[in-house]
Structure formats: C-alpha cells, structure tokens
A and B are shown apart, each in its own frame.
Chain A
Amino acid sequence: MASINIKLNQEKVSQLQDICKEFNNDKGELINVLHKAQHLFGYLPAEVQEVIAHELKTSAAHVYGVVTFYSFFTMTPKGEHPISICMGTACYVRGAEKVLDEFKRILKVKVGETTPDGKFSLSCLRCVGACGLAPVVMVGEKVFGRVSPDGVKDIIGEYTK
C-alpha cells in the first residue's frame, strides 16, 4: 500500500475508502463504486483501482476487467473541456463525421486523446437523445445542436478566450 500513498493524496484515499464503505465494501456494488470514484478523481488510474480492489476484497485484475469493459470509465484524464461528438445514427446521417474531422483537424488530436495543454479532450458518444438537433456536440455539460463543420471553430473559440 505504500506506493499508493505516494501517488495519491491521503485525503482523497480516505474519501475513496468512505465511498467503498458507503456501499458496505460489497464487491457486487463495484460499478456504483467506480462511478463515484470517477466522479471524485475525474478518471480511474491504476492506483485508484488498487485501493478499490483492496477495500472490496477482490483482485485488482477483476476491477481492471470491469473498468476496461465499460466505455463510461476512463483510465486517462479528460481535458478541462471534454468535447464529445454524438455518433448516433441520426447525427451520423446528418453529417457528424465531417464535424468530427474538423475537430480533429483544428485540435490536432485523435479521438480519445487530450490536447497537450490539457484544455480539450475529444471523444465520441452514442446518442444523447437530442436527435432533433442533429448533429450534436457536447462540451462539458453544454449541448450544441445543428453543428456544421464551419461552426466548429466558433465552439472551440468560446472556450479559448
């Protein structure tokens, strides 16, 4: 456990242990624990997974297996402004791919990556259910509808002022 204490701040570790306790350290509640842990840390690095495995009395391999299975969980930190492009069918047929290409071109990152300055990260998601506004882009919690490739510059501009 010593190595964990070095990388994670002790206060956060005890917060994480409290989360596990909240769910009675029950490994059946692993997914709920991971949701809360990701909310706390922003992502789920190996150290966090090890603490959880220890608290829930299961193997780190099991925790890792679950984390990598579900697309909602991430092991890399997101940017300050996470950008998600909806790749649901409705957005796809209304040109979401061209919008994505424009984001990739301007930010010079691939899907799943974060810009070197840590400002933006780019990801795809499947349907936010705002199909009437297709194609849809989310930056953080904010939804941008009817986005055209031309509009991409302006969206990024809003966050670089």
Chain B
Amino acid sequence: MAKFKIHLLVCGGTGCRASESEALFHNLKATISEKGLENEVQVITTGCFGFCEKGPIVKVMPDNTFYTQVTPADAIEIIEEHVIKGRKVQRLLYENPETKEKVVDSKKMGFYRKQLRIALRNCGFIDPENIDEYIGRDGYMALGKCLTELTPEQVIEIMKKSGLRGRGGGGFPAGLKWEITRASKADQKYVVCNADEGDPGAFMDRSILEGDPHSVIEAMAICGYCIDASKGLVYIRAEYPLAIERLKTAIKQAREYGLLGENVLGTGFSFDIELRYGAGAFVCGEETALIHSMEGLRGEPTVKPPFPSVSGYLGKPTNVNNVETFANVPVIINRGAEWFASIGTEKSRGTKVFALAGKINNVGLIEVPMGITLREVIYEIGGGIKDGKEFKAVQTGGPSGGCLTQRHLDTPIDYDNLIAAGSMMGSGGMIVMDEDDCMVSIAKFYLDFTVEESCGRCAPCRIGNKRLIEILEKICKGEGTMDDLDNLRNLSQVIKDTSLCGLGQTSPNPVLSTMENFYEEYIAHVMDKKCPSGQCKSLLQYIIDAENCVGCTACARNCPVNAIIGERKGVHVIDQAVCIKCGACMEKCKFNAVFIK
C-alpha cells in the first residue's frame, strides 16, 4: 500500500454533494495527476463532517486544515498553493465569526471544541466505501472479540452496564432489549435496524449510514450473536439513495472478507443482512408498524404486548434498534462499559447526535455528551442565532416533541430532563427558532404533518388531530375564541391518553408545549386578533406610510395582483380587499414606507 504524505478528505454527504462536491473531488484528482503527485497525495470522499452550513468541506490531513464552501474551481489553487508550496489558502479557511480571525486548525473551531464523537467517530474521517479504512480504525475488532472471547451473556452484560439507551427516541435500555430477545425461544430470530428516519429536520441516521456503514453492520452481527439470530434486516427509507448504495457496497465487502455470511471468522457463527425499503410513511418508525411494512403490508401499528422481542417479523422474536444505537455498540465493546458509562448523566449515558437546524449560524450534525446545556449547544457549537436576532425557542423531538424556551437554556440535556420540560429527545432533531417565528403557526405546522402521517387505524389520532388542526387554523385566521383554547387543551389530553401508538400519544405535544410556554401568543391571536411575529397572513395588513412614500411606483409595479393604487410622485395606497399579503411591496420599497400592522 502506498504511503501518502497528504490526504485530502472531501465531504460526500448529501448536503455537500448538492453543492457540487463530486465535481470538486474529480477536479482535485485530475489536478493531482496533472502534477504527477499520485504517489504522495491521496484524495478520498468521506461521510459528513457535520458542518453542513459551510459545505462543501475539504479537510487536509495531517495538519487539520479545514476549508469551507469550496467550489470545483478552487481545486487548482488548493493543490498549487497548499499541497505544493505548503501555503494554506487563506480565503477558504473558516473564519471565526466573532474575532474575524482565520482558524488554521479545525480542532480550534467552536463548532468542534465541545463535541465528543463516538457514534460519528468515523464520519468525515474514512472512505465509507473502503472496508480496509474501517478496519484500520479498529473496525470489526469488537465482533472478533465477542465471537472468540465472550459468551453472548457476557456481551449483554457489557451492554447493560454501559447504560446505552435506544437512540431512536424511546430511550429503552439496549442491553435489556437484547436480553429479552435472547430469552425468547424460537427456531429463527431477527435483528432489525430501524433506518426509517422520518422526523423532518433530523438526518443523523442517514449521515452514519453514508459515512460509516460498517459500524452498523458490525453491531448488527454482534446483536445477532447475542440473541441467537442468523438474519439481519435494515429497514431504510427509499428517499436515501446514497445511504442505500453505500450500505449495499459495505455488505458486499463484509461478505467478501468473511465478516458476514456462513461461519463468520471461522467461529461457526452465521449471520447475513438484507435490505428492506420504506416508502414514505412516518409511522413506520414505530417498531410494530415497521415490522408490518417489512412484511409487505400497510405500515399500521398494533397493540403491544406482544413486543417484537417476543413476536415480531413473521411472528418470530425480533430485536429492533435504531442506527445510532447500533453505531455505539462496537466502541462500547472495544473500550468497555465503564468508559462509556463515565460519559453523560446518571440516567443517560454516553453521547447523543443532534441535527442542528433552523435559525442558527452553524447548521449541521453534532455529537455531544449527554448533560450538556442547550446554551452550550446553541451559542458555543451553533454559533448563536442567525442575523443577530433574538432566540425564541428550540424544538426537539420533531412532531412528537415540544418547544423549549429561554428558561430551559441551562437545563442539562438528557432523556428525563427533556420529558420533564414537556418535550422529548426523539431522534435528535433540534430546530432553533427566533423572534420572527409564530408559535401558533409552528404548532399548526407539526399538526399538519401528523394529520398527513396518521395511519388512520385508531379514532383519537385520525379524527382528533384533524379537529385540533381545524381549531388552530381558525385561531390563525383570527376567528378563534377563548373556548377554542380550552378545547385545544382538553382534546390534546384525550388524544394523548387514548391513541394506539407512539405517534398519536405524542402528536399533541407541540400544541401543549407551545400553549404552556407561549400562551400570550395564543391570547394575542384570539383576543387582539394579532400575530405578534407577523407570520399569520390573515392577521396582518401591509400599509403605506403617507409621509415616507415618494410615489416612485416601485411597489405598484411589483405587486402581483395590482392591489396598489396611486399616481406617479403621489402617495400610494394598498387596497386591502385585493392584497394577498405577499410582502413584495415591502421588499421593493427603498424608502421604508411600507410597514406591517
């Protein structure tokens, strides 16, 4: 194998690929061969670096140079300046937004300093399509250790001691789940990896599968050994073509190396993995629904018990874990339960991956120890709120979660604290909102999602959520009454108490938590018929200030519905009956004459 002096790591995650990182990769390769540097410089495509805000990312090793927003045209300069002359390309370096200084070493970036990457340990570091690179980072060592040195009971004991809880949202102890599935007697059992990441705004499972697919394969095999299963299935969203491709490549390579298939590593243990595709149904993240979908049925949940650990896929005992949960397993085996349990809080051990998005400067994928505060995540890692606006809320847990506010900023993040604060961990979506976001509209947005995704099997979820959204629509139109607010609260409680599965039992959470934390906004919509954030169109009017209007006609010319009347050099007026409140006039006015009432 050639020994390279310099490695160029190009992000090949979905976000960066959307900004031409593939063309960049080819340009770098071409320039290197043009200069005859093939034996000294290596370019590889890696998984996601997490810093999606500034993609495409190129990292140069070994000196940790971190180039951001690199275009295909920058390839020549990187090779000529950095690689050949040893001078970093200053204009592409990440700039500290506060000090305006260029950061020459990525370890010193605020975004990475507070992170601890366990599940994401290989993402952005290795070539996910090359099994040797995974093995070079202790890959498949944990599987070897389990098969040759440990009994299944001992492995389960390690998992239980580590305190690892399910990262898909439920937070059920992973070791305990394995133990229960092991105890179920059957001729065939299954290991299922839940990669049906449907929570809008969360993309950690996809990034792990794109950036480090072998970690999941290795963990599934370890789980198979523990519960006595010879078959594994990955249920993955069809919307993730790149993750599917990389996973297929990884499975094929693992088979070629004798790490999957008959008689793994010559130990007599057999295990293989197949893929099953989702088809766009959020409820399939629920494990019983997921199992029905794998059987070729409508993905409707059924009552538990029986739990899948007892009767799951094709009626056989089935152990379902999420991608991120699996990604933690090999490290726990290699480094020990005590090490893992020393990270995090008492009841939530280890780290959690969050997808940070919304009105925040550093959008991206982060992994932090449990117990970190929201303030650290939003201000230190996330770099604060976009455009210097005021922080209003952060939504965690997706459509099943709730909104946390200013007063929760110093609460340590773990499973139990988030539930106590009226939200939940969920799969790890974290959407930051600022002063311009209307919380009633946000509640409506999530409800809209739930209504669309409700499978319709049970009445509280199918009918109840529909009624909830009708009330919210009424409030946003300025037709709400105080009785509606009572109805919202009561109906939410009934839906939570009586729905069949997790989807319905949590769907009113966005409504309840916004009512709890932002009740004054609901009151403003209902009593004053005003939307304080100026988002609800029915409740606002665009008005032209007669004093500032110079009659330039820019607004009238740009109005798509000709709602603005006025002579040249005369004051203009908006006909409220015609106005569709698109805001074009306000955008085009150079004299600040248009305002919102």
Q: Which of A92-119 contact B (CB under 8 A)?
A: 92-94, 98, 101, 105
Q: Is the CB of B298 within 8 A of A143?
A: no
Q: Is the CB of A71 within 8 A of B15?
A: no
Q: Is the CB of A132 within 8 A of B364?
A: yes
Q: Which of A115-153 contact B (CB under 8 A)?
A: 125-134, 136, 143, 145
**Does B239 reach chain A (CB closer than 8 Å)?**
yes
Q: B359 — which chain A residues lie within 8 A by C-beta?
A: 93-94
**Does A35 reach chain B (CB closer than 8 Å)?**
yes
**Does B437 reach chain A (CB closer than 8 Å)?**
yes
Q: Is the CB of B363 within 8 A of A131?
A: yes
Query: Given A35-B279, A89-B429, A89-B431, are A133 and B19 also a contact pair (CB < 8 Å)?
Result: yes
A-B pairs under 8 A by CB, number = 123
Q: Of the candidates B201, B238, B355, B446, which one forms a contact with A72 in the assembled complex, judged by CB atoms under 8 Å apart?
A: B238
A16-35 vs B, CB cutoff 8 Å, 1 = contact: the mask equals 00000000001111111011
Q: Which of B345-366 contact A (CB under 8 A)?
A: 355, 357-359, 363-364
Q: Is the CB of A131 within 8 A of B279?
A: no
Query: Given A35-B238, A66-B297, are A131 and B357 also a contact pair (CB < 8 Å)?
Result: yes
**Does B52 reach chain A (CB closer than 8 Å)?**
yes
Q: Is the CB of A126 within 8 A of B363?
A: no
Q: Please measure, in the bound complex, the distance between the C-alpha atom of A145 and the C-alpha atom of B52, giving whole angstroms.
A: 12
Q: Which of A47-66 contact B (CB under 8 A)?
A: 65-66
B273-286 vs A, CB cutoff 8 Å, 1 = contact: the mask equals 00011111110000
Q: Is the CB of B429 within 8 A of A134?
A: no
Query: Given A32-B276, A89-B358, A128-B14, are A71 and B201 also a contact pair (CB < 8 Å)?
Result: no
Q: Is the CB of B455 within 8 A of A69?
A: yes
Q: Is the CB of B363 within 8 A of A132?
A: yes
Query: Given A34-B279, A93-B431, A126-B449, are A133 and B200 also a contact pair (CB < 8 Å)?
Result: no
Query: Given A70-B299, A133-B18, A134-B363, are A93 and B355 also a contact pair (CB < 8 Å)?
Result: no
Q: Please measure, in the bound complex, the distance between the C-alpha atom of A87 and the C-alpha atom of B444, giving whole angstroms.
A: 13
Q: Is the CB of A69 within 8 A of B298?
A: yes
Q: A66 — which chain B residues lie within 8 A by C-beta?
A: 296-298
**Does B202 reach chain A (CB closer than 8 Å)?**
yes
Q: Please measure, in the bound complex, the distance between the C-alpha atom of A88 and the C-alpha atom of B201, giving whole angstroms.
A: 6
**Does A155 reach chain B (CB closer than 8 Å)?**
no
Q: Smallest CB–CB gap between B448 and chain A, Å?
A: 9
Q: Which of B198-218 contact A (CB under 8 A)?
A: 198-203, 206-207
Q: A145 — which chain B residues lie within 8 A by C-beta?
A: 18-19
**Does A43 reach chain B (CB closer than 8 Å)?**
no
Q: Is the CB of A90 within 8 A of B363?
A: yes
Q: Please measure, in the bound complex, the distance between the C-alpha atom of A94 and the C-alpha atom of B437, giving whole angstroms.
A: 10
Q: B200 — which chain A residues lie within 8 A by C-beta?
A: 87-90, 92, 126-127
Residues of B in contact (CB 8 Å), total 53
Q: Please measure, in the bound complex, the distance between the C-alpha atom of A28 and the C-alpha atom of B274, giving whole angstroms.
A: 14
Q: Is the CB of A71 within 8 A of B280?
A: yes
Q: Please measure, in the bound complex, the distance between the C-alpha atom of A28 and the C-alpha atom of B295, giving whole angstroms.
A: 5
Q: Is the CB of B15 within 8 A of A129?
A: yes
Q: B278 — which chain A residues lie within 8 A by C-beta?
A: 70, 72
Q: Is the CB of A143 within 8 A of B358?
A: no
Q: Please measure, in the bound complex, the distance between the C-alpha atom of A125 and the C-alpha atom of B200, giving whole angstroms.
A: 9
Q: Of the candidates B201, B277, B363, which one forms a contact with A127 in the assembled complex, judged by CB atoms under 8 Å apart?
A: B201
Q: A127 — which chain B residues lie within 8 A by C-beta?
A: 199-203
Q: Is the CB of B355 within 8 A of A130?
A: no
Q: B357 — which chain A residues lie within 8 A by C-beta?
A: 89-90, 131-132, 134
B257-293 vs A, CB cutoff 8 Å, 1 = contact: the mask equals 0000000000000000000111111100000000001
Q: Is the CB of A131 within 8 A of B15?
A: yes
Query: Given A66-B298, A93-B437, are A131 and B201 also a contact pair (CB < 8 Å)?
Result: yes
Q: Smallest CB–CB gap between B112 and chain A, Å?
A: 16
Q: Please measure, in the bound complex, the distance between the C-alpha atom of A101 and the C-alpha atom of B293, giving whole angstroms.
A: 34
Q: Is the CB of A93 within 8 A of B203?
A: no
Q: Is the CB of A89 within 8 A of B395?
A: yes
B293-317 vs A, CB cutoff 8 Å, 1 = contact: the mask equals 1011111000000000000001000
Most chain A CB neighbours (cut-off 10 Å) among B55, B199, B279, B297: B279
Q: Please measure, in the bound complex, the distance between the C-alpha atom of A63 and the C-alpha atom of B88, giving whole angstroms.
A: 59
Q: Smallest CB–CB gap between A139 and chain B, Å?
A: 12
Q: A72 — which chain B residues lie within 8 A by C-beta?
A: 238-239, 278-280
Q: Smallest CB–CB gap between B165 and chain A, Å?
A: 24
Q: Of the candidates B206, B299, B433, which one forms a contact with A129 in the assembled complex, judged by CB atoms under 8 Å apart?
A: B206
Q: Is the CB of A93 within 8 A of B433?
A: yes
Q: Smallest CB–CB gap between A48 and chain B, Å?
A: 15
Q: A93 — which chain B residues lie within 8 A by C-beta?
A: 358-359, 431, 433, 437, 442
Q: Smallest CB–CB gap between B150 and chain A, Å?
A: 35
Q: Is the CB of B198 within 8 A of A126?
A: yes
Q: Is the CB of B299 within 8 A of A69?
A: yes
**Does B380 reach chain A (CB closer than 8 Å)?**
no
Q: Smallest CB–CB gap between A157 and chain B, Å?
A: 17
Q: Of the candidates A31, A88, A94, A105, which one forms a contact with B560 in the assembled complex, judged by CB atoms under 8 Å apart?
A: A105
Q: A130 — which chain B residues lie within 8 A by C-beta?
A: 14-15, 18, 52
Q: Is the CB of A29 within 8 A of B296?
A: yes
Q: Please measure, in the bound complex, the distance between the C-alpha atom of A69 and the C-alpha atom of B455, giving whole angstroms.
A: 8
Q: Please measure, in the bound complex, the distance between the C-alpha atom of A145 and the C-alpha atom of B433, giving whole angstroms.
A: 20
Q: A71 — which chain B residues lie within 8 A by C-beta?
A: 279-281
Q: Smallest CB–CB gap between A107 and chain B, Å?
A: 14
Q: Smallest CB–CB gap between B475 and chain A, Å?
A: 17
Query: Given A31-B276, A34-B279, A90-B363, are A131 and B355 also a contact pair (CB < 8 Å)?
Result: yes
13 A-B pairs besides A89-B357, A145-B18 with CB distance below 8 A are: A35-B277, A70-B278, A70-B279, A70-B280, A71-B279, A72-B238, A72-B239, A87-B200, A88-B201, A93-B359, A131-B15, A131-B201, A132-B54
**When A and B form their complex, which 8 residue pairs have the shortest distance between CB atoms, in order from nearest?**
A132-B52, A129-B203, A70-B279, A90-B357, A88-B200, A143-B18, A30-B296, A72-B280
Question: What are 8 residue pairs bridging A and B, where the CB atoms are less than 8 Å apart in the complex?
Answer: A31-B277, A73-B279, A89-B395, A94-B359, A129-B14, A130-B52, A132-B15, A145-B19
Contact surface of A with B, Cβ cutoff 8 Å: 26-32, 34-35, 65-66, 69-73, 87-90, 92-94, 98, 101, 105, 125-134, 136, 143, 145
